[in-house]
């Protein structure tokens, strides 16, 4: 059996440490530095020849996080690691996943190409913006779901008289899975994007009046979608509104906007991206155990599908 090791870039060290702790190993000793012009330099400080290496790195902005992952993969291959798995808790550039207008890039495919060409032998990701991104990789890719962990937390709230809401059509499939698992009804918000980072609620499909609501989305970027959805539901007579999102991208002043909106009572996010500040309104639910189990099972060539058994 191959040795296995876990290394991490600098984008999400707290999650990487928690994953390593759960498995009961130390993170592999890696030095990562920036030159004065910002260029990144990486070096494995221990022998990784013949090793089954898992590299943990979220690729949220800045793009240096992606570059750091590519350099770590490249260095590992050149140091004769036997197999390199890129463990990517947040896979950025995923939203540009098709040519939805002329002369645009399909960034998700480009990033998949870069990771593969750098030398990754396989990838593990969680709650991709769209599942078909798995197919952009011509190497084995495992797609985890945070829903079992988040649903467990939601069940502990002991909520009654509630429904689940999808903030746009794209989120409907995931939200429906939550609703099914929680055995409640689903409402869908009909959202329009007149331009980048701007969202408009056009219609609410379903009946939120007199109900507590849990809004489910894969990510929050500017917070516009989530907050407008919460406000629209409130205006239609919803009671308490909770939110669940896997990836807290929180660009610009999204965190402040979420903290200050009266429409949202509590938001549950995961630790795929570290929060830059704590918030009374936001609770972080860790996906470290899920990734740790996926890593152990991948190393042992065991199935990982039982980690995300949820009807979709
Ligand atoms: C859209 O398809 C995504 O699932 C999110 O709803 C969206 O990217 C969130 O963006 P923002 O927070 O900027 O509205």
- The residues spanned by each domain of the chain are 4-146+288-308, 147-285
Rounded Cα gap, residues 245 and 268, in angstroms: 6
Percent of the chain whose predicted confidence (pLDDT) is above 70: 98
Q: What is the mean pLDDT of the chain?
A: 95
pLDDT at 192: 82
Percent of the chain whose predicted confidence (pLDDT) is above 90: 92
pLDDT at 19: 98
- What fold is seen in the domain 147-285? Rossmann fold (3.40.50)
Place 256 in a pLDDT band, splitting at 50, 70 and 90. very high
Q: Whose CA is nearest to atom 1 of ligand 1?
A: 170
List the one residue out of 115, 98, 96 whose CA is nearest residue 107: 96
- Token pair, residue 310, equals 């949820």
Whether 4-146+288-308 shares its CATH topology with 147-285 is answered yes
Rounded Cα gap, residues 134 and 85, in angstroms: 14
Residue 311 has pLDDT above 60, yes or no: no
pLDDT at 193: 80
- Token pair, residue 236, equals 């239609």
Which of these CATH numbers, 3.30.565.10, 3.40.50.2020, 3.40.50.970, 3.30.300.10, describes 4-146+288-308?
3.40.50.2020
Measure 216 CA to ligand 1 centroid, in angstroms: 11
Residue 294 has pLDDT above 70, yes or no: yes
**What is the three-class DSSP state of 84?**
strand
- What pLDDT, in 10s, does the model give residues 159-172? 999 999 999 988 99
191 is known as an active-site residue: yes
**Catalytic residue (one of 5, 109, 191, 211):** 191
The answer to whether the beta carbons of residues 254 and 221 sit under 8 Å apart is yes
Q: What is the mean pLDDT of residues 261-285?
A: 96
Mutate which of 225, 246, 251, 254 for ligand 1? The one with the most ligand atoms within 8 Å of its CB, which is: 225
Residue 202 has pLDDT above 90, yes or no: no
**What is the three-class DSSP state of 56?**
strand
pLDDT at 161: 97
**What is the three-class DSSP state of 156?**
helix
Measure 223 CA to ligand 1 centroid, in angstroms: 7
Measure 173 CA to ligand 1 centroid, in angstroms: 15
- pTM for this model (two decimals): 0.95
Tell which phi-psi region holds residue 38, choosing left (phi > 0), alpha (psi between -120 and 50) or beta. left
Regarding the beta carbon of 68 and ligand 1, being less than 6 Å apart is answered no
Residue 247's H or E segment, with its range, is strand 241-248
- What pLDDT, in 10s, does the model give residues 38-94? 999 999 999 999 999 999 999 999 999 999 999 999 999 999 999 999 999 999 999
Rounded Cα gap, residues 159 and 73, in angstroms: 45
Q: Whose CA is nearest to atom 10 of ligand 1?
A: 221
**What is the three-class DSSP state of 169?**
helix
Q: What share of the chain is helix, strand, coil (3-state, %, to 5)?
A: 35, 25, 40
């Amino acid at each position: 059996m191959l040795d296995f090791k876990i290394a991490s870039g600098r984008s999400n060290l707290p999650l990487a440490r928690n994953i390593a702790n759960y498995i009961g190993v130390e993170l592999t000793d890696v030095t990562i530095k920036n030159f004065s012009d910002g260029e990144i330099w990486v070096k494995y400080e221990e022998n990784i020849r013949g090793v089954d290496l898992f590299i943990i790195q979220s690729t949220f902005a800045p793009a240096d996080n992606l570059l750091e992952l590519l350099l770590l993969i490249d260095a590992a291959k050149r140091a004769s690691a036997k197999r390199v798995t890129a463990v990517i808790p947040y896979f950025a550039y995923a939203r540009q996943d098709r040519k939805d207008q002329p002369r645009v890039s399909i960034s998700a495919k480009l990033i998949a190409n870069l990771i593969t060409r750098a030398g990754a032998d396989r990838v593990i990701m969680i709650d991709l913006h769209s599942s078909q991104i798995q197919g952009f990789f011509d190497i084995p890719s495992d797609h985890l779901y945070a829903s079992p962990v988040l649903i467990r937390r939601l069940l502990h709230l002991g909520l009654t008289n509630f429904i689940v809401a999808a903030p746009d059509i794209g989120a409907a499939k995931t939200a429906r899975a939550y609703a099914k698992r929680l055995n409640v009804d689903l409402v869908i918000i009909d959202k329009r994007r007149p331009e980048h980072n701007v969202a408009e609620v056009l219609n609410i499909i379903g009946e939120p009046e007199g109900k507590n609501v849990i809004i489910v989305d894969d990510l929050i970027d500017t917070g516009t979608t989530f907050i407008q959805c919460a406000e629209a539901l409130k205006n239609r007579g919803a009671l308490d509104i909770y939110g669940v999102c896997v990836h807290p991208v929180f660009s610009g002043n999204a965190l402040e906007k979420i903290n200050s909106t009266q429409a949202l009572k509590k938001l549950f996010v995961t630790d795929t991206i570290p929060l830059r500040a704590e918030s009374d309104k936001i609770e972080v639910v860790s996906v470290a155990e899920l990734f740790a189990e996926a890593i152990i099972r991948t190393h042992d060539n065991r199935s990982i599908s039982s980690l995300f058994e949820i009807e979709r």
